Amino acid sequence: MLKLHDLYFKPFISEQEIDTAVQNMVNAVAKDLEDEMPVFVGILNGSFMFVSDFVKKYPKPCEVTFIKLASYEGVKSTEDIQRLIGLTQDLTGRTVVILEDIIDSGKTLEEVHRIFKNENVKDLIIATLFYKPEAYDKDFKLHYVGIEIPNKFIVGYGLDYDGLGRDLPDVYQLKTTQHMTNIVLFGPPGAGKGTQADFLKEKYDLVHISTGDVFRYNIKNETALGMLAKSYMDKGELVPDQVTIDMLNKEVEKNADAKGFIFDGFPRTNAQAKALDDLMDSKDSQINAMVALEVDDEVLVERLLKRGETSGRADDADESIIRNRIKEYYNKTAILKDYYSAQDKYFGVDGVGSIEEITVRLNSVIDKL
Ligand code: IMP
Ligand code: MG
């Protein structure tokens, strides 16, 4: 994932694929031009990288020059009028090959045809690395097209978003969904996970997805997935991950406008973590962090015993049961800590202190995501 200014981009076309496309274009042009010496004309700024790679691969002698689009001065109009400038060479009788990084609406290409109309060139050949057929509404022939792409904004390999991204060797595509903050929240029993989840939900406008709640909801309402899950549970079998993922998918889709999600109680295994990554990926999104509240065992035991005194919860009254639950938590989460650490997404947060202090620590982690 890539962030330029306020927008997020995802990997789209690799350096390798671009290299292959450029090579194919070079081969086709060189073959068609035979022994004609072309003048390659790049349209700045976007085409600098393409032109450079193209002419390095070009197997025969050639000339290279550039022209540039500039805002037309002296015209006061809301419509931004752009004119191509910089054509100083006499191109009479020459074979001109325009090298464009991208053809979108075709406005630039129209401008190219306008300025070459009176140049008496022998041939005006158009070659573009990227082409958006859905956006193109002109009739000019495109002689060579590298890669056809959908009508979505891209950056990299010479193309920019407001000045940034030209230097990238790969091409990235604008993400259609806005940036979400998706957190997998962990905490041992007694760490105050529920309390903190409520604060996070409020502050960041996130949707809290507790897998336990989702299960109970689906079973209680006898949804198709709930019935399916129940059929496994009735046989004493584990509910397959895919059923759980399908339920989570429904929750995510129900909240399509959410700023993000807090996943609670899922994933529990490597396979589930991978499945959750795939789910988020299919939504053009991702898990940004595993946030785990870290509290010393002795503090937890003390907290839970104290809670047991007032809540009457049996499992909070017995120290050995409490210690077992804590141990089990660490056994289960160790795998996930490794999984998310490998992606640089594990954030341990000190869970000892007042509720407010812990909230502040959590916020400082999430604000940086
Ligand atoms: P046109 O609409 O074909 O005239 O394209 C105009 C110009 O807009 C191109 O030369 C690029 O500089 C820019 N452009 C069009 N589509 C994209 C894109 O997806 N990413 C970055 N720049 C683009
Ligand atoms: Mg351009």
Task: At 220, list the tokens.
Answer: 């209680």
Q: For residue range 310-334, list pLDDT tens digits in order.
A: 877 777 778 998 899 899 999 888 9
User: What distance in angstroms lies between residue 100's CA and the mean position of ligand 2's atoms?
Assistant: 6
Write the residue with the smallest CA distance to atom 12 of ligand 1: 46
User: What distance in angstroms lies between residue 102's CA and the mean position of ligand 1's atoms?
Assistant: 6
Distance, in Å, from the CA atom of 17 to the CA atom of 148, rounded to the nearest integer, reads: 12
Nearest ligand, measured from the Cα of 106: 1
Asked if residues 350 and 294 have their Cβ atoms less than 8 Å apart, the reply is yes
Residue 165 or 282, more confident: 165
Distance, in Å, from the CA atom of 351 to the CA atom of 191, rounded to the nearest integer, reads: 6
| Ligand 1 atom nearest to 104, measured from its CA | 3
3-state DSSP call for residue 341?
A: helix
- The Cβ of residue 282 has, within 10 Å, a number of other Cβ atoms equal to 10
pLDDT score of 14 more than 70: yes
140 CB within 6 A, ligand 1: no
Confidence tier at 74 by pLDDT (50, 70, 90): low
Mean pLDDT score across all residues of the chain: 92
Give me the mean pLDDT over the 7-23 stretch: 95
Beta strands in the chain (DSSP E): 2-4, 7-13, 38-44, 63-71, 82-85, 95-103, 123-131, 144-148, 154-155, 171-174, 183-186, 207-210, 261-264, 289-294, 346-350
Write the residue with the smallest CA distance to atom 9 of ligand 1: 102
Distance, in Å, from the CA atom of 210 to the CA atom of 262, rounded to the nearest integer, reads: 8
* Phi, psi for 179 (deg, rounded to 5): -65, 130
pLDDT score of 78 more than 60: no
Is 312 known to sit in a ligand binding site? no
In this prediction, residue 72 carries a pLDDT of 64
CB within 8 Å of 368: residues ≥ 6 apart: none
Per-position DSSP letters for 11-55, written without gaps between them = EEE-HHHHHHHHHHHHHHHHHHHTT--EEEEEEETTTHHHHHHHH
Nearest ligand, measured from the Cα of 111: 1
In this prediction, residue 70 carries a pLDDT of 82
Structure pTM?
A: 0.65
Nearest partner of 44 among 5, 95, 85, 92, judged by Cα: 85
Distance, in Å, from the CA atom of 251 to the CA atom of 208, rounded to the nearest integer, reads: 10
Distance, in Å, from the CA atom of 366 to the CA atom of 359, rounded to the nearest integer, reads: 10
Confidence tier at 76 by pLDDT (50, 70, 90): low
User: What distance in angstroms lies between residue 106's CA and the mean position of ligand 1's atoms?
Assistant: 9
In this prediction, residue 316 carries a pLDDT of 77
Nearest ligand, measured from the Cα of 105: 1
Distance, in Å, from the CA atom of 98 to the CA atom of 126, rounded to the nearest integer, reads: 5
Task: At 17, list the tokens.
Answer: 């694929």
Q: For residue range 202-247, list pLDDT tens digits in order.
A: 999 999 999 989 999 999 999 999 999 999 989 988 899 999 999 9
156 CB within 6 A, ligand 1: no
For a ligand 1 pocket test, name from 4, 69, 102, 167 the mutation site with the most ligand atoms within 8 angstroms of its C-beta: 102
Q: For residue range 167-212, list pLDDT tens digits in order.
A: 999 999 998 776 789 999 999 988 989 999 999 999 999 999 999 8
pLDDT score of 121 more than 60: yes
pLDDT above 70 as % of the chain? 97
Distance, in Å, from the CA atom of 271 to the CA atom of 275, rounded to the nearest integer, reads: 6
Asked if residues 292 and 346 have their Cβ atoms less than 8 Å apart, the reply is yes
pLDDT score of 134 more than 70: yes
Per-position DSSP letters for 198-221, written without gaps between them = HHHHHHHT-EEEEHHHHHHHHHHT
42 CB within 6 A, ligand 1: no
Confidence tier at 258 by pLDDT (50, 70, 90): confident
